[in-house]
Structure 1
Amino acid sequence: MPRIFIAFFGLCSLGLWGQGGILVQPIAGEMDFAGTFGELRSHHFHSGVDVRTQGQTGWPVRAVQDGYLSRMVVRPDGFGWALYLRHPDGHTSVYAHLDDFQPAWHDLALARAAASRSTRLDLYFEPHAYPVRAGDTIAWSGNSGGSAGPHLHFEWRDTGTEEPLDPFDYGMLYGDDSYAPRIVALHTADGQKAPVTAGGWTTPLRVQSWQDLSAEIKDKKYPQGLNLGIEALEVHWSWGEQEASHGFHLDRFSFDDTRCADGLMQPQVHRRTGLRTYRLAPSLGALPIWSAPEKSVTMPGRYTLTVTARAVNGDLAIARGPVDLLPGNGHPWADPEVANKVDIQSGERVAEDLRMTWSRGSFTDPLVPELVKTGERSWKASPDVPVLRALRYEWTPPSDYPTAWRSKTVLIGRDGRGSYRIVGEPLTDGRIRFNMKLYGTLTLVQDTEAPTFTTLKAATFQGRPAWYIGLRDNLLDITQYGAEIDGTWTWSYYDAKNKRLYIPKGTQTSGAMKLFAQDEAGNRTTFEGTFP
C-alpha cells in the first residue's frame, strides 16, 4: 500500500492537552479487529486491541492524542518495531508490530543504533523532546516482531502503573457489528459437552467442582470475522427457593498477573480440545477478580445455571441449563482451605538427578506435584496444571559431562499450552539451573551448533533497497547479530519470523561485507562476502 503522511492541524486538534481519552482513532476508517482487550491467549491476557489491515503493511498509524514520544523499541521478536507516546491525561498509547517509523524518528532510531553499535533498541526520551499532535502520522503498520500477520497492535496504558486498560472504555470506536455473541456450549474437565441451542441446554452436566465447568463463547464483528474475546462474565445459580451469583469484569490488569489467563481458560478442556473456554469459577490466580456469591454453592445437588457473557461492544450472550454438583470426595478443589494447602504453598520434588522447587502462588490449581524420571535425560511433572511463577529446576550432570557443554545445556519443556527452551545457568557446585514457567514433560539436550547463513540476495526493506540473507538456528533464538561493510558497522535487522537478516544498501555500490550471528547458548557464526 502506498504510504501517505498525514498531519492534523485543524480544529480537531485544538486544545486537546486539556482533554482526555482516545480522540483520534489509530487507523483511519472503519476498523476491523483480530483481537480485543483481555482476550484469552496461551500464557497471557491480550493487552490491547489488534486492528486488522486487510493483509497489508504500510497503513498510516496516527497519534490518538497530543503528547510526546517517550519510548522507542526495535527488536526481532515481541513487539518488533514499536512506539510509546505519553499523554497529558495520565495515559500512554502503544503502537506495535510496525513496519517503520515516520521519517524523522526512523533517522533517530538509526542514529542511536549507530552510536551504540546495537541492532536492538529500547530507547527512552526526555519529556516533550519529540512532541506530537493528535492525528499526526507517527508510523506505518506492519508485521514485525512476533506478529502472526499484518496488523496494528494498539494499547492504552495507565502511565503511573504501566497497567494496560481496555481502549474501548477510553474512546476507541468499535464500529458496526453484525454478529451477536453466543455461548456455543458448556464443557467439563472430564470431557462432557452440552451444546447450547435456543439459549440453553437440557441434559444435566455432572461436575465435582465449579472450576471443572467452562463456557465456549464466540463473538465476531461479522460472520466471516475472527473470534474475539469478552469483557465480562456472570454465573447465576438457582436451587429450590435460593439463588446466588458471581462474576468478573476485566478492564485492566498488571503484566505481573497476565499468566492468570491460563487459569481462567479451563486447562483440561484446552488440553483435550484446543478450545480456549472460560472457566465459570475462579482459579488460584490473582486475576480476574471475581465477586463473591451471596450464598454458598458448595452443597451437592442440582442447580440451574444462567451464564451471561458481555462482549466488548456491550452485547450479551445468555445460556441456561441444569448442572449436578456431585460430592467432591478426593477432588483437588473439594477442600475449602485449598489455597492454604502445604503442597501448593512452596516445596520441592526430586527425581534422581533433577530437583524441582516452587514458591507459594506458583500454580493456578490445587495439586500434589509429582516428578518422575522417564529416560536418561527426561522427566515428567504432573498433573498438568498451568504455572503462574517460574519454577526452579536444578540438574546434577554425571561426572563425565563435558565442561564445554555446561553453558550449552538446554531444558525443553512442553505442556498442554505450549513449549519453552531455556539455556541453563552453570552453578559453582556443578549443578545447572533452569528457571521455567512450565510444568510438564522435560528433556535435556546440548546445543553446540551455531546459527547458519544462506545465500545473499537483493531485496527491499521498509520500502528501501536492501540485501537479505537467510539466517536460522537449529534450536534456540538468535540473540545477537550484526553487519560490517568495508570494516564499518552497518545497521541491520533480523526478521526472526521469516529467518532473514536485512541490510539496507545505503549509498554504497560495492564492498566487503561481514556478518555475524549468535544464539542464546553463545554459539556464534560469521559470513563474509562481497557485493554486488
Structure 2
Amino acid sequence: MRFIQLFALLIVAVGLAHAQGPVSQSRAYPRDYFRQPLDLPPQASGTFAELRSNHFHGGSDYRTQQRIGHPLHAIGDGYISRARVQLGGGGNALYITHPNGYTSVYMHMHVFNERIAAAVREQQYREQRFDVDVRLEPDIIPVKKGDVIGQTGNSGSSQGPHLHLEIRDTESEEPINPQLFGLEFPDNIPPAIQGITVYDLGDEAFSEHTPRRHLQVSAGNSGQYALTQNSVIPINGRTGIGIVTSDKHNGSPFSNGVYSIELLLDGKPIYHAVFERFGFTDSRALNSHIDYPYYILKRTRIQKSFVDPNNPLEIYKQLVNDGVLALTDNDVHQLMYRVRDVRGNTSTVGFSVQHNAAYQPERKRTPGTVIFNYDKENRYASDHLQITVPENSLYDQLHFSYAQGTKPAKGYSLMQHVHNRMIPVHRGYQLAIKPDETLPVHLYGKALIVDSRGNSQGGRYEDGWVRTTAYSFGSFYVGVDTVAPTIRPQNISEGKNMAALSRMNLLIGDDLSGIQQFNGYLDDQWVLMEYDPKARVLWHVFEPGLSKGKHHFRLEVVDWKDNKQVYEVNFLR
C-alpha cells in the first residue's frame, strides 16, 4: 500500500514539474511599454522580493560587468520627479514618473546627467549638506524613453557595481516585480529546493523552542525533487511546513529569489505566497515570513508556509487555516510543494504525512516574565529597565522574559537581557535603562545604549534614564561616547601644491555612535564634501574657478554624541 501511495505521488510530481503555465498575477501589466535600462545583455545579480536583511528586495539588480560608468537610460517617457543622494541605502537615486501610472527608480548610480546634477548641487549648497532629497515638478526635467539620465555606479549600500531598478505604482508607491513588465532576464532554469522543515507547532506561539524536523531532499530531472527518506512523516497536533528554495538565471552565478511558493494538501492549495508586489511599510515582516530564530542561529532562511497571526503581508493567497495542518484522521495525506520563478519554470517536491497519536515531540517550555499580546501596547518596568512595545509590533503572542547580567567593563549599568534576539519586532519600541551611580554628571550628555556586541543603539539621558528606540530584542547596557571622530588626510598636507589634482581625499571614522555630520570650508566658505561610507572616504572636487595661490581648508566632523574633530590645512593651487 505504501509503495502504491508513493508511486502515485511521484506521478503527480512529474506532471506538476513539467507544468509551465502562466504565473499568478492579480492584474495585467504593460509588457511593451518600457525598455531595458542598459545597453548590456540583461544579467541578474538580484531579483524582486529576494530575502534580504530585515526586508524584501524591492527591484531587479542588473550586473554591470564589475565596473561603474555604463550609460543609464530612462526606461520610458516621463519626468524626473525626485533625485536623491543618501549616505547609505540607494546612494545616488533617480525617480521617473511615467504617464501610465508607474514610477521607475534607479539606485546606486555613479553620477547624474548634467541637468539633473545641477539641480541636485543647487539644493546641496542651499541646505549645506551632501545628502539631499530633491523633489521636482513635471515641467522641470522631462525625459524621453531611452534618454541617458546618468551612469551606473556603486553608491550607497551597494556591495559591488550594479544597477538596482524598481517599478512602483505611482499612487500607492508599492514596488512591483519588474519582470512582469517584460523587463526579463534569460531564464529556463527551474528553482532549486534545498530542504524541507516540519514544525511541530502544538498550542504554543512559534518561537526558537518550536520543535523542528529538517528533511533533506535530492534533485531529479526537470525540477523534480524528492525527500531522501521515503517513509511517511508522523504528525500530531498543529503542524507547519517550511521550505528552503532559491532560483538561478542563465549566465549568472547568483542564487536569487523565487516568484511563488504553493503548498498543496491532497492536490488542493492550503498556502500560496506570490511575490508580485508588496508595501514598503510591511517589508520588515520578512522576519515573520521566514523562520527567524533559525536564521539568527544558522544564517539560513527557511520560508514558512504558515502565517503568524499578526503578519501584515499581503502576499499570501488561498490560505486554509493559515497554512497550518491539523489532521485528525488516520489516513495518509499527500503534501506537495510547487515553486515557480517569474518565467514559469517550476519545481516540485512531494511527501506523505499521517496523524499519529503516538508521536509526541519533545517540547521545551520556558515560561516568561509576562505575556505580551500583539494586538495591544505592552509595557514592562523594573528598577533598572522600562520598555514600551507598541500595538502591532509583534507577530504573535510572546512570553516575554527579562533578566540582568553582569556589568560590562565600560558600562554604567548592569547588562539588561530584554528577552532575546530570536523574536523579531515589526517596528521600534521604547527602551530605557537606568544608569548606576558611577555615571558622572558631566557625562550625562555622552550616554547612550550599547548592545552586547558593542554596537550603539543611540539614545539620550533624560530624567535619570537613558532612552532610545530599539528595533530588536537582545542584551543592552548604558555606555558613553567621549571620543571624537577621526580624520586622516590622504592626498593633502600642509603647504602642498594641489594644482595637478582634481580633488582632495580624506578618511573619516568614528568608534561608537557614528558620524552625524561633516562640513568643509574653503577660505571660510562652505563647500560640498562627498562621502562613501563603505570606504569611509570623504572628498571635495575643486571648482574650475578656484583661484591660484594659497588657500585654507577646514573640515569639521561631528558624531551623534556631539564629539567634534577639526582638521585644518593650508595648500597651494
Query: 1:75–1:207: structure 2 CA closer, same or farther, 3 Å change rule?
Result: farther
Mark the CA change 1:478 to 1:500 in structure 2 (over 3 Å): closer, same or farther: same
Name the CA shift for 1:261/1:310 in 2 (closer, same or farther; >3 Å).
same
- Shift of the 324–263 alpha-carbon distance from structure 1 to 2, 3 Å rule, reads farther
Q: C-alpha separation between the residues in 2 aligned to 1:468 and 1:208?
A: 65
Aligned to 2:283: 258
User: How far apart are the structure 2 equivalents of 1:272 and 1:278?
Assistant: 15
Q: Is the 8 A contact 2:43 2:251 kept in 1?
A: no
Distance, in Å, in 1 between the alignment partners of 2:449 and 2:354 is: 43
Quote the offset at 1:162 in angstroms. Answer: 1.4
Question: For residues 283 and 269 of structure 2, what CA distance do their matches in structure 1 show?
Answer: 28
TM-score between both structures, scaled by the size of structure 1: 0.85
Q: What's the TM-score once normalised by structure 2's chain length?
A: 0.80
Shift, 1:79, TM fit:
1.1
Q: Which amino acid aligns with 1:367?
A: L
DSSP 3-state at the match of 1:28: coil
Aligned counterpart, 2:529: 492
Letter in 1 for 2:280: F
Q: Which moved more, 1:265-274 or 1:242-251?
A: 242-251
Task: Please name the residue that 2:130 is paired with.
Answer: 119
Are residues 271 and 191 of structure 1, via their aligned partners in 2, closer, same or farther at CA, if it must alter by over 3 Å? Answer: farther
Distance 1:214 1:531, change over 3 A: farther
Is the 1:192–1:205 contact (alpha carbons within 8 Å) kept by the matching residues of 2?
no
CA deviation vs aligned residue, 1:185-211 (integer Å, no higher than 9, x gap): 113564532221231113555667777
Question: Aligned to 1:422, which of 446, 457, 468?
Answer: 457
Q: Distance in 1 between matches of 2:53 and 2:234?
A: 27
Aligned residue in 2 for 1:304: 334
Mapping of 1:232-271 within 5 angstroms? 232-238=260-266, 245-271=270-296
State the match for 2:479 in structure 1: 445
> Which residue matches 1:194?
215
2:316 aligns to what? 289
Asked if 1:214 corresponds to 2:242, the answer is yes
Identity of aligned residues (%): 25
Q: Which 5+ residue runs of structure 2 have no aligned equivalent?
A: 1-29, 200-210, 366-370, 408-413, 493-500
Alpha-carbon distance in 2 for matches of 1:211, 1:136: 54
Deviation at 1:143, TM superposition (A): 0.8
Q: Say if 1:182 and 1:318, in contact at 8 Å, map to a contact too.
A: no
Question: 1:110 is paired with a residue of what secondary structure?
Answer: helix
Q: Distance in 1 between matches of 2:286 and 2:264?
A: 22
CA distance in 2, matches of 1:249, 1:512: 59
Q: Partners in 2 of 1:443 and 1:341 — Cα distance? A: 23
Which one-letter code corresponds to 2:107 in the other structure?
A: A
Residue in structure 1 matched with residue 503 of structure 2 by the alignment:
466
Q: Which moved more, 1:479-488 or 1:341-350?
A: 341-350
CA distance in 2, matches of 1:34, 1:346: 41
Secondary structure of 1:96's counterpart equals strand
Alpha-carbon distance in 2 for matches of 1:327, 1:290: 31
Asked whether the equivalents of residues 197 and 213 of structure 2 are also in contact (C-alpha less than 8 Å), the reply is yes
The residue matched to 1:113 in structure 2 has which SS?
helix
Match of 1:14 in 2: none
Contact 2:187 2:250 in 1 (8 A): yes
Q: Which residue in the other structure is 1:529 paired with?
A: 569
Which amino acid letter does the alignment assign opposite residue 230 of structure 1?
V
Candidates 93, 100, 109, aligned match of 2:120:
109
Check if 1:313 corresponds to 2:351. Answer: no
Report SS of the residue matched to 1:443: strand
> What are the residue-to-residue correspondences of 1:169-180 with 2, within 5 Å?
169-174=180-185, 176-180=186-190
Letter in 2 for 1:181: P
Contact kept, 8 Å, 2:466 with 2:478, in 1: the verdict is no
Question: Residue 503 in 1 paired to residue 540 in 2?
Answer: yes
- Change in CA separation of 1:331 and 1:126 when aligned onto 2, cut-off 3 Å: farther
Query: Which of 399, 421, 428 is the matching residue for 1:390?
Result: 428
Q: Distance in 2 between matches of 1:485 and 1:23?
A: 45
| Larger deviation, residues 464-473 vs 32-41 | 464-473
CA distance in 1, matches of 2:33, 2:311: 31
CA contact (8 A) 2:189 2:249 kept: yes
User: Is 1:402 aligned to residue 402 of structure 2?
Assistant: no
> What is the identity, as a one-letter code, of the residue corresponding to 2:53?
S
Paired with 1:194 and 1:402, the residues of 2 have a C-alpha distance of 56
Q: Secondary structure at the match of 2:286?
A: helix
Whether the 8 Å contact between 1:59 and 1:140 is mirrored in structure 2 is yes
Tell me the CA shift for residue 349 of structure 1: 2.8
Summarize the Cα distance change of 1:94–1:330 in structure 2 as closer, same or farther, 3 Å threshold.
same
Aligned Cα RMSD in Å?
A: 2.8
How many residue pairs end up in the alignment? Answer: 494
Amino acid at match of 1:293: V
Q: State whether residues 46 and 60 of structure 2, in contact with CA within 8 Å, keep that contact through their aligned partners in structure 1.
A: yes
Q: Distance in 2 between matches of 1:66 and 1:511?
A: 46
Whole-Å Cα distance in 1 between the matches of residues 452 and 198 of structure 2?
Answer: 23
Contact map agreement 1:22 1:172 (CA 8 A) in 2:
no
- The residue matched to 1:457 in structure 2 has which SS? coil
Contact kept? 1:413, 1:438, Cα under 8 Å: no
CA spacing shift, 1:211–1:158, aligned 2, 3 Å: farther
1:229 and 1:148 map into 2 onto residues whose CA distance is 18
The separation in 2 between residues aligned to 1:330 and 1:398, in whole angstroms, is 39
Instruction: Return the letter of the residue paired with 1:491.
Output: L
Judge conservation of contact 1:352–1:373 (CA < 8 Å) in 2: no
- In the TM superposition, residue 304 of structure 1 has moved relative to its aligned partner by 2.8
Instruction: Say whether the 8 Å CA contact 1:142–1:150 is kept in structure 2.
Output: yes
Q: What's the offset of the Cα at 1:22? A: 4.8
> 401-410 or 163-172: which moved more?
401-410
Spell out the pairing of 1:104-183 with structure 2 (5 A cutoff).
104-174=115-185, 176-183=186-193
Deviation per residue, 1:278-304 (Å, 9 max, x gap)? 111112311133422289831357643
Quick one: which amino acid aligns to residue 493 of structure 1? E
User: Residue type of the partner of 1:184?
Assistant: Q
Q: What is the deviation of 1:106?
A: 1.6
In the aligned structure 2, how far is the partner of 1:203 from the partner of 1:411?
Answer: 52
Match of 1:83 in 2: 94
Read off the aligned partner of 1:422 and give its amino acid letter. Q
Q: Measured at CA, do residues 351 and 227 of structure 1 come closer, stay the same or move farther in structure 2, by a change above 3 Å?
A: farther
Q: 1:367 Cα deviation (Å)?
A: 2.2
User: Aligned letter for 1:134?
Assistant: K
1:99 matches 2:110: yes
Which letter maps to 1:316? T
2:352 to 322, 327, 332: 322
Q: CA deviation at 1:182?
A: 1.7
1:457 is the counterpart of 2:491: yes
Q: Aligned to 1:114, what secondary structure does the other structure show?
A: helix
**SS of corresponding position for 1:527:** strand
- Are the aligned partners of 2:375 and 2:391 in contact in 1 as well (CA < 8 Å)? yes
In 2 relative to 1, CA 211–150 (structure 1 residues): closer, same or farther, beyond 3 Å? Answer: farther
> Which amino acid counterpart does residue 429 of structure 2 have in structure 1?
L
- CA distance change for structure 1 residues 466 and 80 in 2, over 3 Å: closer, same or farther? same
Q: Verify: 1:32 aligned to 2:43, yes or no.
A: yes
Aligned to 2:397: 366
1:431-442 map, 5 Å? 431-442=465-476
Cα distance in 1 for residues equivalent to 2:429 and 2:33: 40
In structure 1, how many angstroms separate the alpha carbons of the residues matched to 2:31 and 2:196?
Answer: 41
Once residues 414 and 309 of structure 1 are traced to their aligned partners in structure 2, the CA distance between those partners, rounded to angstroms, is: 39
What displacement does 1:329 show?
9.5
SS of corresponding position for 1:123: strand
Question: Structure 1 unaligned runs (5+)?
Answer: 1-18, 333-339, 459-463
Tell me, in whole angstroms, the C-alpha distance in 2 between the residues paired with 1:46 and 1:322: 34
- Greater shift in the superposed pair: 401-410 or 60-69: 401-410
Selected match of 1:519 from 556, 559, 568:
559
- Are the counterparts in 2 of residues 452 and 525 from structure 1 also a CA contact under 8 Å? yes
